[in-house]
Structure 1
Amino acid sequence: MSMATQNDIAAAAGQEEGAHPSPTVASTAEDALNQAVRKPFLKSALLILLVLAACLPGLLTVPPIDRDEARFAQATKQMVETRDFIDIRFQDEARHKKPVGIYWLQTAAVSIGEAMGVDDARRQIWLYRLPSQLGAILAVVALAWAGVPLVGRRAAFIGAAGLALTILMGVEARLAKTDAMLLGLIILSQGVLARAYVASHGGRLSLSTSILFWLALGLGILIKGPMAPFVVGMTALFAAIFRKEGRWLLALRPILGLLLALAVAAPWFIAIALQSKGAFFEESVGQDFIGKLLQGQESHGAPPGVYTLIAWGTLWPVSPFLLLALPTLWAWRRERAMLFLIAWAVPAWLVLELIPTKLPHYMLPLVPALMLATGRWLVDGPPKLNRALLWPAVALLLLGSVGVPLAAIAAGYAFDGIPSFGQEPFAVLTAGLGVWAAMALWNGHRLTSFVRIGVASLTLYAGVYGFAFPELRALWVSSRLAAAAEAVPCGDPVLATTGFREPSLVFLTRTDLEMTDGAGAARFLAAGGCRVAFVESREEGAFDAARGGLTPAPRLLTRVKGINLNGGRQLDIAVYTTAEKQ
């Protein structure tokens, strides 16, 4: 056991520096850690509980987020409605961007919810988020397994815990999208690849282990197309280059494995190619994938270096320890296991930096390598910390634990004129724990600091996701419009919207929500029956001009004011109905 680890255990047990801690207390703490990481069931149970503590707050209470999450969820809702499990559509538009895997998982979650009697299950966004929660659990538990041959049990356990605590993992675990589940499958493949890499010359993997590699890769293709092969392929290529030979890859049984991966992924791709007459590949590959390679899409273009810059925020609370670890990791760079982690993270990271389209979740599959490297440093790094890097590391700790809660309180004032009172106790607790963690780090107790800031991150997420974010009413315009439509006395009205076309409004109301302009909204209401129109203020002039003389005259039900989460534009939406008052 390293001197740093001994000091950290003593500090965690409440001993003063230089106070000669009791060997019994220190050894008991170390024994508890060793027992946890050596018993697979206990280790997995602890990590699952950690993921749930970090990622559950807000799952049920945060409304659907525009635009990607709401698009995924609405496309799944239509799959449930139509029972067409091949084609992917958003209203009448084909959604040929990503493969079907995540939609099938979300469909299963919603169907189980309906079978269990969940009220209005098809419009409960938390059901659609469950596959992402499962993906996060898979990713964290798999990383604790994948990292063992590379960094050892304790470092792999700490690295997996770090992954669970990062802001980026927490965000993706709460969104009904592809990336959390994709990460879990990639880590499974990388864990098998790592075992083949570190094996002695000519070593073989068991058949079941090889099958796991290709099965996870095939499922990854079904979730997000080329992303899993890209990450795993880049790792294998550069690991072979670093090892100066590639025969170890034969342990994966590539011929059998490729057939298995094709058997998993190919049937749906063939079916969608036939059903769409090739349009799926034209749009998903020709427009979406290649378009992102060549130019910034959907206003997400950014120069090289952006991922490296934002990583210090998105990987908090682990990023301060990663910063301190960099000199040691550089010294370890020629070790065989460290070369595998470099092959995992660095080449693909450089490619992503060169691609014009920049989205934070693109770097998520590379983060586990950084977590394992940081875990190795926390366990085996030299006892003396780099003083030049200690200042910015402590500042990073405090920025997340003190600055973010204050920003959440300020957001309440800025958006709604009132803070989240439920979040404030968590903000105080988070700040206190953050200062406590910074003190431990400043005194050289890095593992103690890691534990303390980990607890601080849990209280931060509980406050921000559990209270502050759901209570920002100004952001949740679609939820308030849907509630206004449900209040119409005639029941189950036909709906139209003008000036506000966010996917979340479709998901929370009706698949046949009509998208129109101001004059079209007036004509829509004139058709009679139980109808509601949402008219944004920019379209009210055309609406007023077209509704003159309409019978029955549209009645203003309410107005919904807020902020569009995409772009920050102020919104003022009138809700009109033809239903009579009761």
Structure 2
Amino acid sequence: MVSLGPALERLAGYASASHWRACALLLLLALGSFLPGFSTLPPFDRDEPRFAQASKQMLESGDFVDIRFQQEARHKKPVGIYWLQSAAVSAGEHFGVPDARVQMWLYRLPSLVGAIATVLLTYWALLAFVSPRLALLGGALMAAAVLLGVEARIAKTDAVLAACAVATMGALARAWLDWTRSLPFVPDRRNWLVFWGATAIALLIKGPIVPMIWGLAIIVLSIRERSFRWLKPLRPLSGLILCLIVVMPWVAAIAWKTGGAFFSESVGNDMLGKVAEGQEKHWGPPGLYLLIFFGTYWPAAAFAAMAVPFAWVRRREPQILFLLAWIIPSWIVFEAVPTKLPHYVLPLYPAITALLLLAVVNDGINRFRFGAVATAWLVFIVPAALVGVILYANWTFDHTLPYIALPVLALALIVAVLVVNAFRRSDFEGALWRCVVASLLLSIGVFGLAYDSLRSLHLSPRLAESVRAAGCANPAVMTVGYREPSLVFLTGTDLAMGADGAAAAAFLAQPGCRVALVEKRFALDFQAAIARAGTVPRLVTTIRGFNINGGKPLEIGVFARQ
């Protein structure tokens, strides 16, 4: 056996000897990857605070059917993630978490659970393809993947959706490989329940995305077999009834509540809008996902790329065919849709992991192939570039460096070099385990230590803090110019959005404790309107920072009147 290094060798051997040990190790790896920064990172505009604010408003209003962001109907996604987030916050309140409804980490808990489930379910799914030892490695590589680590820290749908996707595809793989006599064990009789239960949850989380993934795979495989009979163990009729039982109560309730407007908005505007044109400035050309793959699937992406020739040569074998049917049709759909967001392809990454491991165990990766070592160096180049960006941003925006993070980031880069050295010795399994270690260190360095020092990017938390420092309880607040959803989440559902400086001046002229946040480009109009009104608001502070979404520096005055 190729050596993994004494410590990694013993750890992999010990954990893979028992499914419980393997799951325990994967749980620890997932927590080590996902927890750094989990509770300290500010809300990521714009999607995360939109989801969290809508969940918060459910708790405020007691309406758990309709979905709203302030007064605007948010008829884009089904209700599942909002229910999960509301339940997490309610549990936080029950256990005495201070100010639970503005603690973003509580809203992130469903994403954390979804990401951990994705890791564990990847291990379960891969047991249909490789040995427990390699399945353990596959789960570890998913825990190490950059994209899953990001989604674990964001309060939205995609980590939970990825868990649903890998559960359905793991169950589908067992049905297919049993039919082709390629499965080394007999599938559990409850396999159909896993498939349809995960599908039902996925429908409530993000509509038809997961059914699209397994539906395209089923079409490809059934054309290959010229039969759908291999699906019989999955009990399609019983499964569809289960989905209807789970989904239809809310579907009927939202249809009655909105008069059918939810479906015209979610299907007609949101879904079809993404197909017709790039939505919300998220347009991207075909091929973009391949281009960013080496960053989003880091650290294993370089080795996955080397497995492509192996997958092509053995594409007709049942295992490889299934994984290609999982990946290629859906990948083509995502590339063809003009709206491009990195997380769209996340449900396909467990299949890529399986292909990589099959290539490793079947001598499908050639260290002597032209360009192989250069490709392996991407394991070092990608994090080195990220560290460079972080250092540049710290120095440019805040005139400092994340000193406490530097030793950890340097150690992550050293381990990345050790990955390349292991690859050059043809120690592929050892290289991949070292990838996991490098990712753990990078996660601690970036999310746990370095990002917190980028105070210029924390505009909304600093503005919310200045509102609390205005000197009165529960002030009415208006913002002019800066309109990010994170500010609504942190300051309150009733945050007013002013059109110009005159609106802010008129707002402050009204009775009661009031705070106005005025961006610098509206300052002259604001001061002129204040002078005409004869009011004298107090300048609490001036907040300077950088808005990533706008791509520009901002200066915002915080004015209070009591």
Is 1:153 paired with 2:120?
no
**Structure 1 CA distance, aligned partners of 2:234 and 2:409?**
49
**Structure 1 CA distance, aligned partners of 2:454 and 2:365?**
45
What RMSD, in angstroms, separates the aligned Cα atoms of the two structures? 1.8
Alpha-carbon contact 1:401-1:457 (below 8 Å) kept = no
- Counterpart of 1:138, as a letter, is A
Q: Which of 255, 259, 262 is equivalent to 1:273?
A: 255
Aligned to 2:311: 329
Task: Using the TM superposition, give the Cα deviation of residue 38 of structure 1 relative to its aligned residue in structure 2, in angstroms.
Answer: 4.4
**Structure 2 CA distance, aligned partners of 1:370 and 1:297?**
28
**Structure 2 CA distance, aligned partners of 1:201 and 1:563?**
56
Aligned to 1:363: 345
Q: Which of 2, 12, 30 is equivalent to 1:7?
A: 2
**C-alpha spacing 1:183/1:382, structure 2 compared with 1 (3 Å):** closer
Task: Using the TM superposition, give the Cα deviation of residue 549 of structure 1 relative to its aligned residue in structure 2, in angstroms.
Answer: 4.5
Question: Which range moved further: 377-386 or 96-105?
Answer: 377-386
Q: What's the secondary structure of 1:567's corresponding residue?
A: coil
Task: Using the TM superposition, give the Cα deviation of residue 347 of structure 1 relative to its aligned residue in structure 2, in angstroms.
Answer: 0.8
Aligned to 2:442: 460
**Structure 1 CA distance, aligned partners of 2:471 and 2:337?**
52
Deviation digits for residues 102-139 of structure 1 (CA, Å, limit 9, x no counterpart)? 00000011001111111101000011111000000111
Q: What's the secondary structure of 1:470's corresponding residue?
A: helix
Deviation digits for residues 356-415 of structure 1 (CA, Å, limit 9, x no counterpart)? 111111111111110111122233325752431323322201113433223222221122
Aligned to 1:163: 142
Is 1:84 paired with 2:63?
yes
**C-alpha spacing 1:200/1:363, structure 2 compared with 1 (3 Å):** closer
Alpha-carbon contact 1:390-1:442 (below 8 Å) kept = no
Task: Using the TM superposition, give the Cα deviation of residue 491 of structure 1 relative to its aligned residue in structure 2, in angstroms.
Answer: 2.0
**C-alpha spacing 1:359/1:498, structure 2 compared with 1 (3 Å):** same
**Structure 1 CA distance, aligned partners of 2:535 and 2:288?**
56
Alpha-carbon contact 1:405-1:460 (below 8 Å) kept = no
Aligned to 1:186: 165
- Counterpart of 1:97, as a letter, is K
Alpha-carbon contact 1:402-1:430 (below 8 Å) kept = no
Deviation digits for residues 46-97 of structure 1 (CA, Å, limit 9, x no counterpart)? 1111111111111111100100001001111111111110010000000000
Number of residue pairs matched by the alignment: 558
Q: Which of 196, 202, 212 is equivalent to 1:220?
A: 202
Aligned 1:531-550 pairs, distance under 5 A: 531-550=514-533
Q: What's the secondary structure of 1:489's corresponding residue?
A: coil
Task: Using the TM superposition, give the Cα deviation of residue 454 of structure 1 relative to its aligned residue in structure 2, in angstroms.
Answer: 1.5
Q: Which of 551, 554, 560 is equivalent to 1:571?
A: 554
Question: Which range moved further: 511-520 or 192-201?
Answer: 192-201
Alpha-carbon contact 1:352-1:363 (below 8 Å) kept = yes
Alpha-carbon contact 2:33-2:443 (below 8 Å) kept = yes
Q: What's the secondary structure of 2:279's corresponding residue?
A: coil
Alpha-carbon contact 1:239-1:340 (below 8 Å) kept = yes
Aligned 1:510-529 pairs, distance under 5 A: 510-517=492-499, 518-529=501-512
Alpha-carbon contact 2:539-2:558 (below 8 Å) kept = yes
Q: What's the secondary structure of 1:298's corresponding residue?
A: helix
Q: Which of 99, 109, 125 is equivalent to 2:78?
A: 99
**C-alpha spacing 1:133/1:451, structure 2 compared with 1 (3 Å):** same
Deviation digits for residues 303-322 of structure 1 (CA, Å, limit 9, x no counterpart)? 11111111111110011111
Alpha-carbon contact 2:54-2:68 (below 8 Å) kept = yes
Alpha-carbon contact 1:142-1:184 (below 8 Å) kept = yes
Alpha-carbon contact 2:79-2:204 (below 8 Å) kept = yes
Q: What's the secondary structure of 1:562's corresponding residue?
A: strand
Task: Using the TM superposition, give the Cα deviation of residue 448 of structure 1 relative to its aligned residue in structure 2, in angstroms.
Answer: 1.5
- Counterpart of 2:505, as a letter, is A
Q: What's the secondary structure of 1:469's corresponding residue?
A: helix
Question: Which range moved further: 168-177 or 433-442?
Answer: 433-442
**Structure 2 CA distance, aligned partners of 1:449 and 1:401?**
16
**C-alpha spacing 1:361/1:344, structure 2 compared with 1 (3 Å):** same
**Structure 2 CA distance, aligned partners of 1:371 and 1:365?**
11
Aligned to 2:39: 60
Is 1:141 paired with 2:120?
yes
- Counterpart of 2:2, as a letter, is N
**Structure 1 CA distance, aligned partners of 2:531 and 2:384?**
56
- Counterpart of 1:210, as a letter, is W
**C-alpha spacing 1:383/1:88, structure 2 compared with 1 (3 Å):** closer
Alpha-carbon contact 1:160-1:372 (below 8 Å) kept = no
Is 1:394 paired with 2:389?
no
Aligned 1:233-312 pairs, distance under 5 A: 233-312=215-294
TM-score, L = length of structure 1: 0.93
Question: Which range moved further: 163-172 or 427-436?
Answer: 427-436
Alpha-carbon contact 1:481-1:560 (below 8 Å) kept = yes
**Structure 1 CA distance, aligned partners of 2:433 and 2:126?**
20
Q: Percent identity?
A: 45
Is 1:503 paired with 2:485?
yes
Aligned to 1:436: 418
Task: Using the TM superposition, give the Cα deviation of residue 329 of structure 1 relative to its aligned residue in structure 2, in angstroms.
Answer: 2.2
Q: Which of 557, 567, 570 is equivalent to 2:540?
A: 557
Is 1:119 paired with 2:98?
yes
Question: Which range moved further: 557-566 or 437-446?
Answer: 437-446
- Counterpart of 1:555, as a letter, is R
- Counterpart of 2:539, as a letter, is L
**Structure 2 CA distance, aligned partners of 1:392 and 1:182?**
34
TM-score, L = length of structure 2: 0.96
Task: Using the TM superposition, give the Cα deviation of residue 39 of structure 1 relative to its aligned residue in structure 2, in angstroms.
Answer: 1.7
Q: What's the secondary structure of 1:451's corresponding residue?
A: helix
Task: Using the TM superposition, give the Cα deviation of residue 335 of structure 1 relative to its aligned residue in structure 2, in angstroms.
Answer: 1.1
Task: Using the TM superposition, give the Cα deviation of residue 36 of structure 1 relative to its aligned residue in structure 2, in angstroms.
Answer: 2.5
Aligned to 1:24: none
Is 1:530 paired with 2:523?
no
| Residue segments in structure 1 that go unaligned for 5+ positions in a row | 1-5, 15-27
**Structure 2 CA distance, aligned partners of 1:33 and 1:302?**
40
**Structure 1 CA distance, aligned partners of 2:340 and 2:290?**
11
Alpha-carbon contact 2:306-2:365 (below 8 Å) kept = no
- Counterpart of 1:524, as a letter, is F
Aligned to 2:178: 199
Alpha-carbon contact 1:300-1:358 (below 8 Å) kept = yes
- Counterpart of 2:521, as a letter, is R
Deviation digits for residues 263-293 of structure 1 (CA, Å, limit 9, x no counterpart)? 1111111111110111100110000000101
Task: Using the TM superposition, give the Cα deviation of residue 324 of structure 1 relative to its aligned residue in structure 2, in angstroms.
Answer: 2.0
Alpha-carbon contact 1:402-1:434 (below 8 Å) kept = no
**Structure 2 CA distance, aligned partners of 1:378 and 1:415?**
44
**Structure 2 CA distance, aligned partners of 1:160 and 1:85?**
35
Task: Using the TM superposition, give the Cα deviation of residue 550 of structure 1 relative to its aligned residue in structure 2, in angstroms.
Answer: 3.5
Question: Which range moved further: 171-180 or 38-47?
Answer: 38-47
Q: What's the secondary structure of 1:119's corresponding residue?
A: coil
Aligned to 1:18: none
- Counterpart of 2:3, as a letter, is D
Alpha-carbon contact 1:98-1:223 (below 8 Å) kept = yes
Q: What's the secondary structure of 2:58's corresponding residue?
A: helix
Is 1:210 paired with 2:205?
no
Question: Which range moved further: 66-75 or 295-304?
Answer: 295-304
Task: Using the TM superposition, give the Cα deviation of residue 569 of structure 1 relative to its aligned residue in structure 2, in angstroms.
Answer: 1.5
**Structure 2 CA distance, aligned partners of 1:528 and 1:74?**
27
